[in-house]
């Protein structure tokens, strides 16, 4: 029986790659004079590589990319501040996000978000996706002082949803931080795989794999019937 569904945010509820591309298009247009000899397509593609799906801090990415294209190094701070202030305006959810969350709530499930990131930045994205009224608990690593895959963070999330880890389904895109982390505390898991392969050097995927958020609905029904 599942009482709660916990979601990662970036690349799980938030279509981060497409959101970031939309932001970069806007930022490029406003800051083009400082970025060096580069076209938007090159800048955006290189940014995504350096960003490594959000794993590299933008305080590292901006100086690096300015250096590569001969931009003004002293402009890195302004670009970073602009990213922090405006990125969330371009937040786009994955298909059907809101309908899926509403349906899960209608079935009486508690809903949570567990995300690694900066409190203010991630909170702005939660707000931009209009998740405030749909989610019971939002745990952000900076605010919690814990990062996935730390077991304590998953346990805290279950507690915030007033249930046991074994009665939680965790949905996320990161095999190690999300799926193996949640599995280690006894949660059911659904890997939102996108185009990624499960890493060959990690333990096998212990749970379901999904390609669309709407598949969560059948997983919960299936698991609830067990
Ligand atoms: Mg993620």
Q: What secondary structure letter does DSSP report for 149?
A: T
For the chain, what is the mean pLDDT? 95
What pTM was computed for the model?
A: 0.93
Could you tell me the distance, in angstroms and rounded to a whole number, from the CA of residue 57 to the centre of ligand 1?
15
Q: 212 CA to middle of ligand 1, Å? A: 14
Distance 115 CA to ligand 1 centre (A): 7
DSSP 30-64: HHGGGS-S--HHHHHHHHHHHHTTTTS-HHHHHHH
- Length of the chain in terms of residues written: 226
Angle at 161 between CA 179 and CA 222, to 5 degrees: 55
Instruction: Yes or no: say if 39 and 8 are a contact pair by the CB < 8 Å rule.
Output: no
Note the Cα 87 to chain centre separation in Å.
14
pLDDT of residue 225: 44
Residue 224: band (very low, low, confident or very high) from pLDDT cuts 50, 70, 90: very low
For 72-113, the pLDDT digits (tens) are 999 999 999 999 999 999 999 999 999 999 999 999 999 999
Give Cβ neighbours of residue 128 (< 8 Å, ≥ 6 apart): 88, 89, 91
Query: How many angstroms is it from 36 CA to the middle of ligand 1?
Result: 31
Do the Cβ atoms of 50 and 14 come closer than 8 Å?
no
Task: Tell how far the Cα of 37 is from the centroid of ligand 1, in angstroms.
Answer: 32
């Amino acid at each position: 029986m599942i009482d709660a569904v916990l979601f990662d945010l970036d690349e799980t509820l938030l279509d981060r790659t497409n959101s970031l591309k939309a932001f970069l298009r806007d930022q490029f247009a406003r800051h083009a004079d400082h970025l060096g000899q580069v076209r938007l397509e090159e800048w955006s593609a290189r940014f995504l590589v350096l960003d490594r799906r959000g794993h590299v801090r933008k305080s590292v990415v901006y100086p690096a990319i300015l250096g590569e294209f001969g931009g003004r190094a002293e402009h890195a701070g302004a670009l970073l501040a602009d990213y922090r202030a405006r990125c969330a305006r371009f937040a786009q959810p994955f298909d059907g996000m809101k309908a899926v969350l509403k349906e899960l709530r209608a079935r009486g499930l508690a809903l949570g978000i567990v995300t690694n990131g900066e409190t203010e930045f991630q909170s702005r994205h939660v707000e931009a996706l209009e998740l405030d009224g749909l989610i019971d608990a939002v745990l952000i690593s900076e605010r919690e002082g814990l990062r996935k895959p730390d077991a304590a963070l998953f346990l805290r999330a279950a507690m915030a949803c007033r249930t046991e880890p074994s009665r939680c389904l965790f949905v996320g895109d990161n095999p190690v931080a999300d799926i193996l982390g949640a599995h280690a505390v006894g949660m059911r898991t659904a890997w939102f795989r996108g185009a990624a392969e499960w890493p060959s050097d990690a333990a096998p995927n212990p749970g379901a794999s999904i390609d669309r958020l709407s598949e969560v609905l059948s997983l919960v029904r299936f698991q609830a019937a067990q």
